[in-house]
Amino acid sequence: MQTHAQPAPASPPAAAGAAGYTQTRSFSTIAMIELWERFGYYGMQALIVYFLVQRLGFDDSRANLVWSACAALIYVSPAIGGWIGDKVLGTRRCMQIGAMILSLGYALMAVPTQNTWFIFSALGVVVVGNGLFKPNTANMVRKIYEGDDSKIDSAFTLYYMAVNVGSTVSMLATPWIKDYVNANYGDGLGWHAAFAVCSVGLIIGLLNLGFARRTIAHIGSNPDQLPVRIDKLLMVLGAGVLMVGASAVILQYQSIARAFVYIAGFVVLGIFIHLIRTSQANERAGLIAALVLTLQTVFFFIFYQQMSTSLSLFALRNVDLDFNLFGAHLFTWSPAQFQALNAIWIMLLSPVLAGIYSVAGRSGRDLSIAAKFALGFAMVAVGFFVYGIAGQFAVGGKTSSWVMIIGYGCYSLGELLVSGLGLAMIARYVPARMGGFMMGAYFVAVGISQYLGGVVANLASVPRDMVDPVQTLPIYTSLFNKLGIGAIACTLIALAALPLMRKLTRTHHSHG
């Protein structure tokens, strides 16, 4: 068991009290805009690979890599957005501007065109908006609860649940909207109607943020306390336009995408190492701990990316879409809706884990984040073996829809233990003065692994002329069994790193 020293009182809660708003009200405002942002993002993610394959005519390999490169850009861009929030425009201000840009990006996706440059440019707008929104929203949560380890773990777990409330609704709704509009108003329009709904979600989130803005008016970085500098705002927006064009080029040319992702990884790793070398002793221990856990997170998100790539296409080709129980038909899902299982499980499990963390924190018996990571990888392994073994019981190349529920349940518990605590890990171990940048660096690591996840998914790339489920099934189950073995290896590595993590954590707290 890992226990933590009692932290010093933090100033943000006191500021909240002075403003007349509790931590809970401030947190609720942030969680709500995050909910609507994730509504838009996951509504788009549920359809994007299918859109590339079925509407634009991409083969599996190109669709996987285009989306994985886009996901990488979406997660790499916060490295810059976090710094802009810390030093240029302000954390709170960047969160709001990012949400506005995201609503524009999804609106552009709603334009009924098959021009790849236009689609890729729209995705570029989403990249820019996410870069400003994601790290600064997470940093706002950090500022509310800074200084209390057990509350940080609990808050970020509930924050993660808010993410999945939005994503559950959108991942169930957008595939249905797509099918309904296609069936009644012409094939093709449904895709864009579904993307339009993603934009509407962001607009609702922005309206809610406007009504509740006073609850977070006291939270932010130093630039938030000053009037906005128009020259700086124009400079950021101009750079954003350039980033949109660069993103479109990167998505169009796979070799450029690969080079960009790897270079970004080396640059951030270099900066990480430089900060470790030049920091004080207590900061150095925390940064090394954060680096170790971030590297583990890279491996986790390789598994995570399968949800929108190989698992998504597996549901399209090799899963019985009917849910039956004791011979009675309950309901039928479209392939894209199976991705919502992840979010549903997250919502069910998040309050349970948050309660466990709080009780364990009060009693001084809380597991360390490193131990939670190891347990998370073990659960991911179980989930992928469920998919792999299910192939042995398939009928006509189709596995039961219930298999997806079981596999996603194991996988989602693993996700909560690893990804759900990734942001809490940064909040716990990284000095406040570099919080925005390190939130961004964490997302860069996630972005790299998203792209690598697409590369791994292509191990199960199905040729266009192969349409028989009996032929495609072993291609997918072979990949899932290999991923299960890989997750076991990650579990063993995480367990081996526990002694080092205990030492680093003790050093970090003894000097804190």
Cα dihedral across residues 498, 503, 509, 512: positive or negative: negative
Query: 369 with 428: CB under 8 angstroms?
Result: yes
For residue 362, the tally of other CB atoms under 10 A from its CB is: 10
Mean pLDDT within 276-288 = 76
* Mean pLDDT across 183-208: 89
Q: Collect all residues with Cβ–Cβ distance below 8 Å to 62 and sequence separation of at least 6.
A: 52, 254
Of the listed ranges 61-75, 157-171, 456-470, the one predicted with least confidence? 157-171
3-state DSSP of 240-281: HHHHHHHHHHHHHCHHHHHHHHHHHHHHHHHHHHHHHHHCCH
Rg (CA), the chain: 22
In this structure, what token pair is assigned to residue 250?
Answer: 């990167």
Q: Both tokens of residue 9? A: 């009182």
At 257-274, the pLDDT tens digits run: 888 878 877 887 787 787
Is-contact 82 440, C-beta < 8 A?
A: yes
Q: Is the pLDDT of residue 485 over 90?
A: yes
Tokens coding 145: 């609860």
Rank 215-224, 290-299, 462-471 by mean pLDDT and report only the highest. 462-471
Q: How far is CA 412 from CA 153, 299, 359, 391, in A?
A: 17, 15, 22, 21
DSSP per-residue letters across 139-155: HHHHHHHTT-HHHHHHH
For 111-159, the pLDDT digits (tens) are 988 899 999 999 999 999 999 998 888 778 777 776 666 676 677 667 7
In 3D space, the residue among 480, 475, 478, 472 whose CA is nearest the CA of residue 318 turns out to be 472
Residue 116: predicted pLDDT: 93
For tokens 């552009």, the residue is 108
Residue 412, pLDDT above cutoff 60: yes
Length of the chain: 512
Contacts of 375 (CB under 8 A, 6+ apart): 367, 414, 417
Comparing 57 with 275, the larger pLDDT belongs to: 57
The 3-class secondary structure across 199-226, one letter per residue, is HHHHHHHHHHHHHCHHHHCCCCCHHHHC
Query: In whole angstroms, what is the distance from residue 356 CA to residue 244 CA?
Result: 43
The correct answer on CATH 1.10.340.30 for the domain covering 22-510 is no
User: In this predicted model, what pLDDT tens digit does every residue of 37-67 receive, in sequence order?
Assistant: 989 999 999 999 999 998 998 988 999 999 9
Res 426: pLDDT: 67
Pull the structure tokens for residue 491. 């579990």
pLDDT in tens, 333-391: 999 999 999 888 888 887 888 788 778 777 777 777 778 888 889 999 999 999 999 88
Q: Domain-by-domain residue ranges, the chain?
A: 22-510
| pLDDT value of position 129 | 95
> Which of 300-304, 368-372, 418-422 has the least mean pLDDT?
418-422
